[in-house]
C-alpha cells in the first residue's frame, strides 16, 4: 500500500508562525526600521494553509496594536530642535543633523554699566520746592545741572547755546598748565606781555612781580587773577599761541565740540562754550587735586618781591563756608554776564551745576544756592 506524503504537523507550523510574529512585534517596539513588517507577516500567512488563519490574524492584531502605541509615543515626545549644518565638500547643500539636547538661552554677563543703569536715577521733587513756576524764577540764561554718577540731567535751560564764558576759561588754563608737569616751586615773573590789552583791566600784581607757579595758579583759580593766568600761559613750550592751541586740543579730547578759546584769561568774548560742554570741563577738572584745593580756598596771601598781597575767593558761597563745594570757578565780562560752575557733593553724591549769563552780580549765586536746596531735599 503506497505511503501518504509527509506533511508537517500543525503544531510545528503554529510554533514557527508565532515565532515570526514575535520577531515582528519585538522589532516594532524596539524601533528597528523594517521595510514593512505587516507585509512580511502577510506573506508568511499566505504560505500557510487555511488551518493556520487564526494564528495569522492574532499576529496581525498584535502588530497593529503595538504600532499604534509607538505612533502615539512619537507624537507626544518633547520637541527637539535640530541644527542645519553644511555638508563638507558640498557647497550650497545642507543636511539636517539632530542635536540630542535643546539649545539653552545664554544669559549675558552682568557688567558695571548694568549696575549704573539699575541704580535709582535722582530727580528734583515738587515737595522740595522744584516746580515749573520756581524754575522760571532762575535768572541765569543758560543752565545745566547733571548728576555725575548716572549722567542724568536734572535741569536744562539753553544748555546747547554757544555763549561767552569769561573766567570760567581758567579751569581749562589750569589743566593745561598742570599737564606740563613743570615744577610748582619754579619762580615766574610778570611781564608787560601779561597786561590786559583786551579790556584794559588793572591788577594788583604789578609788572616785575615774582611768584612761584604754585602761587600764580592759586590766585588765578581762587581770585581770578588775570595777570597770573597770562603769565602761566606765556611760560609754556612754544609760548602763548602753543598754550592756547593746547587748550583747544584738550577741549576736543574731552568732547567739548562747541567750545573755543583764544586766550587763557577769559577776557575775550571769543572764548565760547555751552553749559553742557562746561559740565564736561568740570568733570575733567575734578581729576586735578590742585584745582579742587585752590578753587575752594577762602583766602590766600602771597609775597611778591618782599611785598604782601591778600586775595579772597571770588565766589560768595565759598566765602560763606559752604563745605559741600568740591570745586568751582566764577567769571564775568559784559558780554558773558555773571557765570559760575560748581561741583557739589550732595549727600555724598557728585552733582555739577553750570550757570551762565546771569544779569545781576548776585543772581548766579542765588540760583546756585536755590538749586542746592532742591538737590539736598530731593536726595534724602
Q: Which residues are catalytic?
A: 167, 170, 224
Query: In this structure, are residues 330 and 362 in contact, taking their beta carbons and an 8 Å threshold?
Result: no
- According to the model, what pLDDT value does residue 196 have? 96
- Does residue 248 or residue 39 have the better pLDDT? 248
Which residue in 191, 238, 190 sits closest to 215, CA to CA? Answer: 190
Instruction: Write the pLDDT tens digit of every residue in 2-22.
Output: 454 455 455 555 666 677 766
Check whether 52 has a pLDDT greater than 60.
no
Q: Residue range 295-309: average pLDDT?
A: 97
CATH code of residue 212: 3.40.710.10
In terms of DSSP H, where are the helices of 203-266? 213-222, 226-234, 239-253
Check whether 59 has a pLDDT greater than 90.
no
Query: In this structure, are residues 356 and 163 in contact, taking their beta carbons and an 8 Å threshold?
Result: yes
**Number of domains the chain contains:** 1
* Mean of pLDDT over the chain: 83
CA distance to 129, 226, 247, 289, 323, per residue, from 347 (Å)? 18, 34, 33, 21, 12
- According to the model, what pLDDT value does residue 50 have? 44
Q: Residue 24's Cα: distance from chain center in Å?
A: 68
Check whether 28 has a pLDDT greater than 80.
no
Strands 163-164 and 187-189: unpaired
Check whether 39 has a pLDDT greater than 80.
no
In-domain check, residue 261:
yes
In-domain check, residue 331:
yes
Residue for cell digits 528734583? 124
- According to the model, what pLDDT value does residue 121 have? 87
In-domain check, residue 103:
no
In-domain check, residue 100:
no
Q: Tell me the C-alpha distance between 286 and 350, whole Å.
A: 10
Instruction: Write the pLDDT tens digit of every residue in 307-348.
Output: 999 999 999 999 999 999 999 999 999 999 999 999 999 999
In-domain check, residue 74:
no
Q: With bands split at pLDDT 50, 70 and 90, how would you rate the model's confidence at 40?
A: very low
Q: What is the DSSP string of 13-69?
A: HHHHHHHHHHHHHHHHHHT---S-HHHHHHHHHHTS-GGGHHHHHHHHHHHHHHHHH
Question: Within 13 Å, how many C-alpha atoms sit on residue 78's CB side?
Answer: 5
Give the Cα-Cα-Cα angle 313, 315, 321 (nearest 5 degrees): 80
- Does residue 257 or residue 112 have the better pLDDT? 257
In-domain check, residue 230:
yes
Q: Strand, coil or helix: what is 232?
A: helix
Instruction: Write the pLDDT tens digit of every residue in 128-184.
Output: 999 999 999 999 999 999 999 999 999 999 999 999 999 999 999 999 999 999 999
- 234: Cβ contacts below 8 Å, ≥ 6 apart: 191, 193, 194, 240, 243
Q: Which domain holds residue 149?
A: 125-378
Residue for cell digits 555724598? 348
Q: With bands split at pLDDT 50, 70 and 90, how would you rate the model's confidence at 380?
A: confident
Q: Residue 214's Cα: distance from chain center in Å?
A: 36
In-domain check, residue 209:
yes
- 291: Cβ contacts below 8 Å, ≥ 6 apart: 171, 174, 175, 178, 221, 285, 327
In-domain check, residue 369:
yes
Amino acid at each position: 500500500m503506497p505511503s501518504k506524503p509527509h506533511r508537517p504537523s500543525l503544531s510545528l507550523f503554529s510554533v514557527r508562525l508565532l515565532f515570526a510574529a514575535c520577531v515582528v512585534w519585538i522589532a516594532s517596539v524596539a524601533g528597528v526600521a523594517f521595510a514593512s513588517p505587516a507585509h512580511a507577516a502577510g506573506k508568511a500567512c499566505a504560505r500557510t494553509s487555511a488551518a493556520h488563519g487564526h494564528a495569522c490574524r492574532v499576529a496581525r492584531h498584535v502588530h497593529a496594536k503595538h504600532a499604534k502605541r509607538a505612533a502615539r509615543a512619537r507624537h507626544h515626545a518633547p520637541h527637539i530642535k535640530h541644527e542645519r549644518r553644511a555638508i563638507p565638500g558640498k557647497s550650497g547643500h545642507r543636511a539636517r543633523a539632530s542635536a540630542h539636547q535643546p539649545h539653552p538661552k545664554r544669559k549675558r554677563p552682568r557688567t558695571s554699566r548694568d549696575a549704573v543703569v539699575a541704580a535709582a536715577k535722582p530727580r528734583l521733587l515738587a515737595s522740595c520746592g522744584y516746580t515749573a513756576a520756581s524754575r522760571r524764577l532762575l535768572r541765569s540764561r543758560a543752565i545745566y545741572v547733571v548728576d555725575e554718577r548716572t549722567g542724568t540731567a536734572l535741569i536744562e535751560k539753553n544748555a546747547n547755546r554757544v555763549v561767552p564764558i569769561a573766567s570760567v576759561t581758567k579751569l581749562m588754563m589750569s589743566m593745561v598748565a598742570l599737564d606740563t608737569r613743570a615744577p610748582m616751586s619754579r619762580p615766574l615773573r610778570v611781564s608787560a606781555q601779561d597786561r590786559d590789552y583786551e579790556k584794559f583791566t588793572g591788577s594788583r600784581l604789578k609788572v616785575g612781580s615774582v611768584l612761584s607757579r604754585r602761587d600764580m595758579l592759586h590766585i588765578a583759580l581762587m581770585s581770578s587773577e588775570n595777570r597770573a593766568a597770562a603769565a602761566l600761559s606765556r611760560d609754556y613750550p612754544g609760548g602763548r599761541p602753543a598754550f592756547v592751541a593746547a587748550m583747544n586740543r584738550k577741549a576736543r579730547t574731552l568732547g567739548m565740540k562747541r567750545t573755543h578759546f583764544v586766550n587763557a584769561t577769559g577776557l575775550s568774548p571769543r572764548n565760547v562754550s555751552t553749559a553742557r560742554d562746561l559740565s564736561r570741563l568740570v568733570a575733567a577738572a575734578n581729576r586735578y587735586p590742585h584745582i579742587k584745593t585752590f578753587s575752594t580756598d577762602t583766602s590766600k596771601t602771597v609775597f611778591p618781591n618782599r611785598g604782601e598781597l591778600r586775595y579772597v575767593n571770588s565766589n560768595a558761597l565759598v566765602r560763606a563756608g559752604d563745605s559741600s563745594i568740591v570745586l568751582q570757578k566764577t567769571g564775568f565780562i559784559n558780554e558773558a554776564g555773571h557765570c559760575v560752575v560748581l561741583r557739589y557733593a550732595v549727600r555724598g553724591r557728585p552733582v555739577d551745576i553750570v550757570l551762565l549769563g546771569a544779569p545781576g552780580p548776585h543772581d548766579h549765586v542765588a540760583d546756585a544756592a536755590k538749586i542746592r536746596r532742591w538737590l539736598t531735599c530731593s536726595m534724602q
